[in-house]
Structure 1
Amino acid sequence: MESSNMFNNDNTTGITTMNLVHGNAICYSGYREGQNPGAGVYPSYEEIKEDLTILAKNWSYLRLYDCGPHAEIVLDVIRNEAFSFKIMLGADLGAEVSNPNCPWDANFDAQILQQNHVNNVAQIDKLILLAKQYPDIIFSVSIGNEASVEWTDHLVPVESLISYVRKIKNEITLPVTFCENYVPWTNKLAPLVAELDFLSIHTYPVWEYQTIESALDYTKQNYYSVANQYPDTPVCITEAGWACASNGRGIEPWNASQELQAIYYEQLIEWTTQEKILTFVFEAFDEQWKGSSHPLEPEKHWGLFNLDRTPKLVMQSLFQPQEEPAI
């Protein structure tokens, strides 16, 4: 890690700009077999401590997706066990409007949408509270995740997103961002850009039917389509990765493997390190609770580590088991 702070201010031109500091970053969600945030079953303190001990070997920055019990335990473990991670803390927003463009059901009655808005305000309040409680650990906050892309099942109007940014900035001084697919940044999110300190994009070539041969170039196109449109606003990548298995739902089975994940990861890290683009790899560990019940559901197979915390092919050079000394 190049700095204990993610941001450097550059005043050489007479204009204050905010530059993202590059470092190894990863998305972390610690749910293990039988655990599920929807069911209120969370990892224990010791389980999260085990995860963070693994991740501390190679990563400086972690991204968390919500402000619930999982995030609170993570922050508690980091402070109590003196880990040096810096956290991007996110808000988990529910739909405030229905979305007929969502491929699965995203039509809600007015009562549900109103309750979701109430819950979203509470989530933003919790984000602010945790940011105040852990100012030495949380380096930035995100107002949501994929809540504006055309296929989302938790659609939030841009006007609401702007109101949440302003609410946060009235309470804390941490940099504020929004984590979203690259496409909305190039059109509908333009009014939001002026409110944010930096932009956070997601890029998934394998979800968009790219092969490994075209994957990195496609990722570069995604990134620069946003970065070139907003040259005065820093842009980082908060999700990029490759699935290791698929039942054919959205990703052809032949295009999902540990070998392909390792190739994409190595190419991605080489490029983003060279260009100093802060990039949160998706994701640390496989999560069984995600997606459908099918064991090869691709949503379950993005981790650099298996569900049992053993390293996949992509991580085996860094996390080889120690050999027992000869007697």
Structure 2
Amino acid sequence: MLLFALMIVLLFAQSYKPESKEISAQEILGNPMYPAFSYGGYRGKTRDEVPTVKDLEEDMKILAAMGVKLLRTYNTQQYAHTANLIKAIRNLKDDDPNFEMYLMLGTWIECEGAWTSNADHTKGNSENNTAEIETAITMAKENPDIVKMIAVGNEAMVKWAVNYFVTPNVILDWVTYLQELKKQGELPSDLWITSSDNYESWGGGAETYRTDDLAALIGAVDFVSLHTYPFHDSHYNPSFWAVPEEQEDLLDLEKIEMAMIRAKNYAKSQYKGALDYMTSLGMNKPIHIGETGWSTIASTSYGPTGSHAADEYKGKLYYEAMREWTDSAGMTCFYFEVFDEQWKDAGDPNGSENHFGLINLQGQAKYALWDMVDEGTFKGLTRNGQSITKTYDGNEDLLISQILPPKSLSEIGLQQTSNINQNRNAGDLVTETNYLVLKDPKMVKRNMNFTYPSAPLKLNVWEGTCEMFLSPEGELTITTGTGAWWGGALEIQSKGENLSNYHKGQLFFDIKGDTESTFQIGFQTGIYSDGNQVNNGITFGPKSKYSLSENWKTFSIPISRLNKNGNLSDVTALLYFLGENNFDGKTISLKNIYFTKG
């Protein structure tokens, strides 16, 4: 009888599954016991190769072993990835009710006419956006124990996403819609709603983003999901990244360690910019890092020929620094990302976007996770049939021998001009005879009547399609792109410059180069996102009236020949470049660039 009773108890114990713990978004976010990652499980070179449920179960087991309990996704219905991911988590929870993995569902939001020349950034793509949101609603209602947050859009408001971005009113409408469904009981009341976007989109940078609609959006979300990428800005804004003069005598590893401290502080400054803006509105919403990361391989802008940012050593330092900062500050950091994904830059195996993961496609843990390998964290786990091992076969000396310290400021080039006229506000009428775009020793030496821009000019490479280098001496070099298009500009970082007095004048510059590309050069008026931007330029090329040589040539272009709409009161880019054909990756150099009244 006693033996029978013991058997019953044993069978009951084996079959009993305790109820899973219910936890809300508010309890998860900011809790260091719930580490977060941005996640994509794609293995192939296109997202059409959707990972199977078994593939994703494999990934979830690896993540669970790492202690990860919160993931951020990017689409709901465009691909089956997220649906398969929910199935994978559900299967693991059915096997073990104590298994914890929660989701912030990302929805892809884009403008009307996205990816065409007829984009209307003030309106959304109704068909796509509605499908994304409604699928998210269904997923959240059916899986309240898994889906804890919904993010309306991914970098959908940042204006450098020129092919698809929307103005904040589009995001606000969807956030309001979801919040109303919560009030009506159609969605869980503790489901938190946000939008996941660049720090500037949250008011942490340029004032042009700080609109009434953005303020209303901040008031409508449950928390702010903010993106910050010092890695990218090591190329686009390297003032924080370059080795300062007083540190040039340090050992290479010391230079790197100091640079990574500056990178962390740079990320913190972008967070603070958004926080300060929100505070100025009288609001107090939680801010969490929706995305940040560090690529470990790069072929151009961030690699050996660029800023020297990409490698596993720096990646480890950044990962640890961001985890330490956000944990201590009570913030969640959706670190980007867990696994490398090669679809992001399928045409370039060494493209930096393919290498943000902490585990590569060969199942090798990068330097940031070597300790976990040593501790047996991944014992018995595989990805695509491969055990999790160390990169470089665990040879730390070999890894370190291949890293490069950041360049000095003189080597890396300026990304923003410092020659400005502080006695005039941008938008005020320019009255001087000559307007110097860049430092111009020749003009200064002549002691002519001249002025500099009323605010700094930023070297803006459009969507990373080319490279621009500005030497401290004022020589500008463009490396033309090799993709489908390329372009960039020297953009004034405030209201456009008023050059109305120059309508009868000329644009002067010295130019040389070895590119055989055909390209436009000139100035821009208006703002792209407002739909009133105009390219005022002429064409350079082998078959054009204007052509390059490998020696310096001076050109004088009448403003009347450049100006397409007669408006010079709002010059927003004092110089722009736009490739037209035959993109060869070669160079164009300019100096002594100025406008004159006539």
Q: TM-score range by the shorter chain?
A: 0.7 to 0.9
Quote the Cα distance in structure 2 between the aligned partners of 1:110 and 1:229.
29
Q: CA deviation at 1:80?
A: 1.4
Return the offset for 1:20: 4.2
CA distance in 1, matches of 2:223, 2:291: 15
| Gap runs ≥5 in structure 2 | 1-21, 94-98, 182-186, 204-209, 235-240, 242-258, 381-598
Deviates more, 1:176-185 or 1:20-29: 20-29
What does 1:39-54 align with in structure 2 at a 5 Å threshold?
A: 40-54=48-62
Amino acid in the other structure paired with 2:44: E
User: What CA distance in whole angstroms lies between the structure 2 residues aligned with 1:141 and 1:203?
Assistant: 20
Q: 1:303 aligns with which of 334, 357, 360?
A: 357
Q: Identify the match of residue 327 of structure 2 among 268, 273, 289.
A: 273
- The residue number in structure 1 matching 2:170 is 160
Q: Which residue of structure 2 lines up, in the alignment, with residue 236 of structure 1?
A: 288
Structure 1 SS opposite 2:226: strand
Shift of 1:195: 1.1
Partner of 1:197: 222
For residue 267 of structure 1, report the CA deviation from its aligned partner: 1.0
Tell me the distance in 1 between the aligned counterparts of 2:260 and 2:116: 36
Task: Report % sequence identity.
Answer: 30
Shift of 1:249: 3.8
Shift of the alpha carbon at 1:284?
0.6
Aligned to 1:13: none
Partner residue of 2:345 out of 277, 280, 291 = 291
Distance 1:157 1:294 in 2: 32
For 2:405, the equivalent position in structure 1 comes to none
With normalisation by structure 1, the TM-score equals 0.85
Q: Partner residue of 2:108?
A: 92
**Helix, strand or coil: the match of 2:342?**
coil
Q: CA deviation at 1:230?
A: 2.4
Paired residue for 1:64, among 68, 73, 81?
A: 73
Q: Aligned to 1:228, what secondary structure does the other structure show?
A: helix
- The answer to whether the 8 Å contact 1:140/1:175 transfers is yes
CA distance in 1, matches of 2:29, 2:333: 14
Deviates more, 1:276-285 or 1:171-180: 171-180
| Residue-by-residue CA offset, 1:274-325 (whole Å, 9 max, x unaligned) | 111111100010000102511111110000110133211111111338599x
C-alpha contact 2:123 2:170 (8 A) present in aligned 1? no
Runs of 4+ in 1 over 4 A off after TM superposition: 321-324
Where do residues 103-122 of structure 1 align in structure 2 (5 Å cutoff)? 106-109=115-118, 116-122=125-131
1:61-105 deviations in Å (ceiling 9; x for gaps): 11111113100111111111113111100101233366xxxxxxx
Give 1:241-256 correspondences, 5 Å limit: 241-249=293-301, 252=306, 254-256=308-310
Which moved further from structure 2: 139-148 or 225-234?
225-234
Please say which of residues 180-189 and 44-53 is displaced more in the overlay. 180-189
Q: Counterpart of 2:272 in 1: which secondary structure?
A: helix
* Structure-1 separation of matches of 2:224 and 2:42: 27
After superposition, give the CA deviation of every residue in 1:121-166 in whole Å (9 maximum; x if it has no partner): 1111111111111111111100010011110132122111111112
> Aligned with 2:169: secondary structure?
helix
Q: Is the 1:247–1:253 contact (alpha carbons within 8 Å) kept by the matching residues of 2? A: no
Q: Distance in 1 between matches of 2:226 and 2:123?
A: 28
Say which of 131, 137, 143 aligns to 1:134.
Answer: 143
Return the alpha-carbon distance in structure 2 between the equivalents of residues 279 and 287 of structure 1: 20
8 Å CA contact retained: 1:97, 1:155 = no
Given that residues 71 and 334 in structure 2 are in contact (C-alpha distance below 8 angstroms), is that contact kept between their aligned partners in structure 1? yes
Q: Which has the higher contact order (CA 8 A, sep 6+)?
A: 1
1:123 aligned onto 2:137: no
- Shift of residue 33 of structure 1? 2.9
Deviation at 1:228, TM superposition (A): 3.1
Q: Tell me: CA distance 1:311–1:110, structure 2 relative to 1, closer, same or farther (3 Å).
A: closer
Partners of 1:52 and 1:274 lie apart in 2 by 26
TM-aligned CA distance change 1:285 to 1:110, over 3 Å: closer
For residues 1-37 of structure 1, what are the alpha-carbon distances to aligned partners after superposition, in whole Å with 9 as ceiling and x for unaligned? xx933315xxxxxxxxx97444310011000034x22
Aligned to 2:180: 170
What residue in structure 1 maps to residue 449 of structure 2?
none
RMSD between aligned residues: 2.5
Task: Give 1:42 shift.
Answer: 0.2
The alpha-carbon deviation at position 60 of structure 1 amounts to 1.3
Q: 2:156 aligns with which of 147, 163, 167?
A: 147
- Cα distance in 2, alignment partners of residues 110 and 290 from structure 1: 23
> Is the CA contact (8 Å cut-off) linking 2:112 and 2:119 kept in structure 1?
no
Distance 1:60 1:266 in 2: 18
Question: 2:373 is paired with a residue of what secondary structure?
Answer: coil
> Does structure 2 retain, via aligned residues, the 8 Å contact 1:249–1:297?
no
Note the residue ranges of structure 1 that are not aligned, 5 or more in a row: 9-17, 99-105
Structure 1 pair 290/127, CA: closer, same or farther in 2 (3 Å)? same
Q: Which residue of 2 aligns with 1:103?
A: none
Q: Which of the pair has more CA radius of gyration?
A: 2
Return the structure number with greater strand share.
2
Q: Which residue pairs with 1:207 in the alignment?
A: 232
Number of the residue aligned with 2:400:
none
* Map of 1:11 onto structure 2: none
